[in-house]
Chain A
Amino acid sequence: MTANFRLPVGGRVNRDEALRFSLDGRPMLGYRGDTLASALLANGVHQVATSIKYGRPRGIMAAGVEDASALVQIEEPFPEPMMSATTVELYDGLIARGLPGQGRLADRPDPARYDAKHVHCDVVVVGAGPAGLVAALTSARSGARVVLVDDQNQAGGALLGSDEYFDDLGSPAAWVHEVLAELRATPGVLVLERTTAFGAYDDGFLLALQRRTDHLGAAAPKDVARQRIWRIRAKQTVIATGAHERPVVFADNDRPGIMLAGAARTYLHRYGVLPGRRIVVFTTNDSAYTAAIELAETGVDVPMLLDARAVPPEGLVAECAARGIEVRAGHAVTGTEGREHITDVHIAPLAGTGHPDTIMCDTLLVSGGWNPVVHLFSQLRGALRYAPELGAFVPGEELPDVQVVGSAAGALDLASCVRQGGEAGRAASEAAGFTRPAPVPLPTSDARVAEAAAMVLWQVPEGAEPTADTRFVDLQRDATVSDVLRATGAGLRSLEHIKRYTTIGTAHDQGKTSGMIAAGIVAEALGVKIAEQRPTTFRPPYTSVPFAALAGRDRGELHDPVRITAMHSWHVAQGALFEDVGQWKRPWYYPRPGEDMADAVLRECRAARESVALMDGSTLGKIDVQGQDSGEFLDMLYTNMMSNLKVGRIRYGVMCGVDGMVIDDGTVIRLAEDRFLVTTTTGNAAKILEWMEEWLQTEWPHLRVFLTSVTEHWATVPLVGPRSRDVLASLAPELDVSNEAFGFMSWRDTVLDVTGGVAARVCRISFSGELAYEINVNAWHGRALWEALMAAGEPYGITPYGTETMHVLRAEKGYPIIGQDTDGTVTPQDLGMSWAVSKKKPDFIGKRSFARSENNRPDRKQLVGLLPANPATVLPEGAQIIESAHLPEPPVRMLGHVTSSYASAALDRGFALAVVRSGRDRIGETLYVPVADDVVPVTVTDSVLFDKEGTRRDG
């Protein structure tokens, strides 16, 4: 039922391996080595999809990544949207559907694995065409470590789409094979096939996507990463990415069966596939003559070649004549006919003599010249230069450690390509420190060389402006010449603006065939020179890259490192819910059966206030400060005095930035004359260590102080509540736990009766206002300590609590959490912590700022407590505070906002902390908090709402 357009012999497909596939439900056969596009053409199928805006039939126009129209959705073996039929390697069982410009993501998780690999090399060569191969081999022979990256399944580049012969060497395939064999046998050389270099960045950094098993379809081994991102760092970069053929715009230039001439050669020679049986060629340059001649030689009917140039190349015209191809010079295609496939071509002379005509055909090949693939060079911010002889942009400056060679630099003949490749390979390896390599013999070929200069023609001129324009510039976006003219007519001049206005070049193909033409039409319309226009910026990626590949293994559990404490497994076993604090997993609360969060937190709070409770505080940042100037150093960092702290004692400290705003708080323990241990909030540990190092290294390098993070060395358990002393006493036989012997804000080292004796440091500090001990042991013993405390506390109903209860307990006492109750604009004075700011010290970080007038304004926001009129109300954190009982018309004057808000077991009501303008002067006032459609009255109170006198801390 399907026509067979496959030649009986030829091509690089494996005819012994037939592959079943389907497009839009139509089953077909292809061969191993085909792309989906070549297999479709072999079955006589040109139309792949319909267009996004106008629903016009669209077919295969190219043979590579530049194709703008043949988009498919792959349905099986796994759904994948927006794939270009010209780049999908065929595999057995492939089920595809043509796409009108929009795909559909898979509705199930992708079972494939993706990964990333780093590689460092002396020279990276992008593109394994003739120029790239010679460059890579030349560098490799010098001893340089070379990475050769090529996006095809086999090396050769443009040679894959040609039947030329190399003098002395025979077929180019044999030469390519020989070069690759030597590269592969050279130690330190890595050849990456099916790998697209999609991004070039600073200092020789290149990202490439390798499709490792895509071509195997459902047969892909599950244990091999499907795709891999290569992160290549090279001393030297050689860009040999070739050129893309460019079409010419004319009316109805989008019908299936209209194809780039070079693409037809690729289908013919690489896949053994004919694009049609009666082929008309339309060109502005010599290269398409070869396509016409070669196709005619296969026996296909090539009635006519239209050359837009008034004077065609004599030799090529003679070759055409010998094969029955009529060459009409100075002619162009003015339109086409056909429904789902082209049937006729309308032609007309561009100027002078001749008359319009209509030619029957099933294929129209077009060549408007070649665009060097300058994407990577341009991504590196290399300036581009307009080359009028090509009608395209080429690299216009030298970039350090980067060379662009071959067609990518505008050289369109083999001799120039291989010569440039050899020179670049030599220069790159020498720049990377290697000696002059043995030269690689350069192949010469029998390919036809260009005789005459190309003509630059963006579009076939049209007499009158058509009403429904079918002169498509960007086939994927359905954008026409009229759209471009509408943009210039609206006053747009910059290509960047016109690109956005018309969307030309914004589809999956990123304007590989349309961008240059759009620039040309714009220049014509504005009457300016293209050379004076700045081309649109090329940005990574060069081709689409799946997010799955970019994510690699960094998904799910591996997305971000997870830090857990020594007691984590116990919390998990007890059914704790966890909260992420930075990378730490912290128990949030421990619900019992039937409890919701509110119930659990109230129960945990009651246990801490009425008997005994414990939490895992191991995540607290801990920094060991050593050296004889430690006291002096800490005096500068903290607002209060630390150098006079006695060994054995503990002090709470606040740290500010130079602007006087609080950045962190914690306790400082003096371990010895020259040694302190300071704690930071969990989320700030790394930042504070870096802050301390900054001052030490940049401002006071003369201070003899050494800082070490010891956060993970210690397991830390706050043991809290009136019965905490009893529990500790039962585990610490050698420790006098009485208030007289072991007072508040002091620490003791002891040995706990845990698994045969565990050394512990016990600190009498409290973040809840209750009698409390913070027990620190080597992290190794953390879980044993925890279990021992649970056992020892059993008679008192010891209760584990999480971060939520910790927050409630501290908020009842008005203890702020830095970063929750503060936001970088809050001073210690705003928090009511003037007591923690030394008056004696001549200076410390932030001190001078406290004296600034801004920091002394009476209307600064200050930390206060709020009690909602209805005790059952728990205000939402972040809610704004206003002065009036009714929400006024905007703008509404905000007095501050709620920073912490909870239901309190101890207070038997909801309460909040808030920062409020002139808050301390407003104590006793009623303010209002808009919540949804309601305005909640609240009473301003002191920030300490529970046990103001501090009677509970000593038990």
Chain B
Amino acid sequence: MQLISCPWCGPREEVEFHYGGQAHVAYPDDPAALSDEDWARFVFFRDNPSGPFAERWSHAAGCRRWFNAIRDTRSHELLDVYRMDEAQPARTGTS
């Protein structure tokens, strides 16, 4: 059972968290202006890298706060966690 460091609560067991998919996929400013294909890309398409991946997590059974994490999808190691209002830490190969 992995430990995940909630930026607000500190390390907690993974069962307290919910996964929220890829981070930094902004809701489009004007969805109506998008083509069907561009909209479908926003709705259905996400990156699937082998390596560091910026993701959203929610400390669902704790403080209920959403935060971002960079996880290495090969090892599941969480390389960084950062609050929603913090910039993504620089890291080569990060999506």
Contacts and interface: CB of A to CB of B under 8 A. Distances in A.
B9 interface: no
Interface stretch (A345-353, A848-856, A942-950): A848-856
Which one of A690, A697, A847 has the highest number of Cβ atoms from chain B below 10 Å of its Cβ? A697
A503 to B, nearest CB: 31
Contacts of A595: none
Given A658-B43, A849-B43, A843 B3 contact: no
Interface string A299-330: 00000000000000000000000000000000
A693 B26 CA distance: 16
Nearest to A855: B36
Given A203-B1, A690-B18, A693-B66, A848 B56 contact: no
A849 B44 CA distance: 11
Size class of B's contact patch? 20 to 34
Interface in B14-41: 18, 20, 26-27, 30-32, 34, 36, 39-40
B76 interface: yes
A698 B58 CA distance: 10
Given A694-B58, A842-B32, A852 B84 contact: no
Given A201-B1, A202-B76, A658-B43, A847 B31 contact: yes
Contact of B32 (A658, A701, A843): A843
Contacts of B85: 701
A202 B84 CA distance: 26
A518 to B, nearest CB: 30
A201 B34 CA distance: 46
B63 to A, nearest CB: 11
A694 B66 contact: yes
Contacts of A933: none
B3 A697 contact: no
Nearest to A381: B75
A659 interface: yes
B60 interface: yes
Nearest to B26: A699
A699 B65 contact: no
A848 B31 contact: yes
B40 to A, nearest CB: 7
B23 to A, nearest CB: 8
Given A697-B66, A701-B84, A848 B58 contact: no
A118 to B, nearest CB: 10
A96 B68 CA distance: 57
B60 A690 contact: yes
Interface string A692-720: 01100111010000000000000000000
B64 interface: yes
A849 B34 CA distance: 11
B29 to A, nearest CB: 10
A652 interface: no
Interface string A184-216: 000000000000000001110100000000000
- In this complex, the interface size class of chain A, counting residues with CB under 8 Å from chain B, is 20 to 34
Interface in A833-873: 842-843, 847-849, 851-853
B31 A690 contact: no
Interface string A50-74: 0000000000000000000000000
Contacts of B60: 690
B58 A693 contact: yes
Given A659-B43, A694-B20, A848 B1 contact: no
A695 to B, nearest CB: 8
A697 B65 contact: yes
A637 to B, nearest CB: 12
A920 to B, nearest CB: 24
B84 A843 contact: no
B2 interface: yes
B43 A698 contact: no
B34 A698 contact: no
A851 B2 CA distance: 42
A436 B64 CA distance: 41
Interface in B53-90: 56, 58, 60, 64-66, 76, 84-85
A205 B44 CA distance: 36
B66 A848 contact: no
Contacts of A849: 39, 43
Nearest to A849: B43
Contacts of A202: 1-3, 76
Contacts of A842: 32
Nearest to B34: A848
Interface string A678-702: 0000000000001001100111010
A698 B84 contact: yes
A701 B30 CA distance: 18
Nearest to A853: B36
A566 B60 CA distance: 26
13 contacts: A202-B1, A202-B3, A694-B20, A694-B66, A697-B66, A698-B84, A699-B26, A699-B27, A847-B32, A851-B32, A851-B36, A852-B36, A852-B39
Given A203-B1, A842-B32, 15 more contacts: A202-B1, A203-B2, A659-B43, A690-B18, A690-B64, A694-B58, A697-B84, A698-B20, A698-B56, A698-B84, A699-B26, A843-B31, A843-B32, A847-B32, A851-B32
In the A-B complex, the 6 residue pairs with the closest CB atoms: A848-B31, A697-B66, A202-B2, A203-B3, A205-B1, A699-B27
